[in-house]
Amino acid sequence: MSETPAASASTADSSAAPRWRGIFAIPVTPFHDDTEVDEDSLRRQLDFSVEAGAAGIVHPVMASEFFTLTDEERLALIPLVTRQVAGRAPVVIGVAATSLQGARRFATAARDAGADAVIAMPPYVTRFSADDVLRYFEAIAAAAAVPVFVQNAGVAAMNPATLLKLVREIPGIHYVKEEVAPAHHNIARLVEAKEPALWGVFGGGGAQNLIDELRRGAAGNMPASQYTDVVSRVFDLWESGNEAEARELHTRLQPALNRERLAGVASAKAVLVRRGIIKSARTRGAGTALDEYDRAEMDALWPGLEALFTWGR
């Protein structure tokens, strides 16, 4: 992947660099039942995401429980992800940390592993000053030497004016993942700014508001991976001008997306287990633990969901 246009420092700011669009899937980090990382399940999930139509891969971020991983685990998983994807889709490595030094270390590792881009939110434990946030992203962009996505999430929220300032003042920052409420309004404000250095704005929220975001000019969405085949098809239908079909398919998926909204990564992992992609739904405490009612509701939804799946058939 290091040979792709986006991965080169000399081309990261050029007009020839790709402007990415589509569904960039976020693989969860699978754990064995003893909560140790299950690398084999992660490899299967990466293959699934690519085969199911993901336009890109993003790991590790919130849906990957990155905040529960040790630094050593994160550093080991970066080359695992790039090697397994092997150029089949752009790889965006999550490099957020609680300090400039930590983020720079992850960004350097992402560059060395051949990542196509990196993504980070500001430090999320102690709130940094505006100047320190600027220096933090400057360090990430310099160390990564590939395009940078700024993730705007509630744990370290920024307003559109601040995001545009980062894009304008830091070479290498070209994308935003916007998921601070009202995210759909913020996406529109960012797109309507027509900032030349801002190559795309992606939504989050598990693609629950994908159609609304696309109408406002979003370049795509970054959801957890369990419905990659379905969400990618919604995006493709929209891109081809089949709005009615895109809306109909997205509406049919909404009950399942609601389950993820309620339980987060625990719900995503349960679906991936049902689909035979990962072995265990164990988390390290992220999300809301599923109870018998959650499982019964998924049982009720499953026949309709299975009818939407295309991967594995």
Q: Give the side-chain half-sphere CA count within 13 A for 249.
A: 24
Q: Work out the mean pLDDT of the chain and round it to a whole number.
A: 94
pLDDT band at 79 (very low <50, low <70, confident <90, very high): very high
Tokens of 144: 């990564």
Q: Quick check: 140 and 171 in contact, CB under 8 A?
A: no
Torsion angle defined by CA atoms of residues 116, 17, 123 and 189, in that order, rounded to the nearest 10 degrees: -140
pLDDT in tens, 206-237: 999 999 999 999 999 999 999 999 999 999 99
* Dist. CA 181–CA 152, nearest whole Å: 10
DSSP-assigned states of every residue in 126-154:
SPPPHHHHHHHHHHHHHHH-S-EEEEE-G
pLDDT at position 228: 98
Q: Quick check: 45 and 266 in contact, CB under 8 A?
A: no
pLDDT band at 154 (very low <50, low <70, confident <90, very high): confident
pLDDT in tens, 136-148: 999 999 999 999 9
pLDDT at position 45: 98
Local structure of residue 25 (DSSP, 8 states): E
Q: Give the E-state strand segments of 20-121 in sequence order.
A: 22-25, 56-59, 91-94, 117-120
pLDDT at position 17: 76
pLDDT at position 1: 38
Q: Quick check: 55 and 232 in contact, CB under 8 A?
A: yes
**Looking at domain 5-229, which of 3.30.2130.10, 3.30.497.10, 3.20.20.70, 3.30.70.370 is its CATH number?**
3.20.20.70
The amino acid at 239: E
Tokens of 277: 């992609």
Q: Which residue has the tokens 């959650």?
A: 294
pLDDT at position 286: 85
Q: Give the E-state strand segments of 138-287 in sequence order.
A: 148-152, 173-178, 200-203, 220-221
pLDDT at position 4: 35
Q: Quick check: 54 and 23 in contact, CB under 8 A?
A: yes
pLDDT in tens, 266-301: 999 999 999 999 999 999 988 889 999 999 999 999
15-39 burial code (b ≥16 CB/10 A, e <16): eebeebbbbbbbbbbbbeeeeebbe
* Dist. CA 8–CA 64, nearest whole Å: 26
Could you give the percent of the chain with pLDDT greater than 70? 95
N-terminal to C-terminal alpha carbon distance within the chain = 29
pLDDT in tens, 15-51: 667 799 999 999 999 999 999 999 999 999 999 999 9
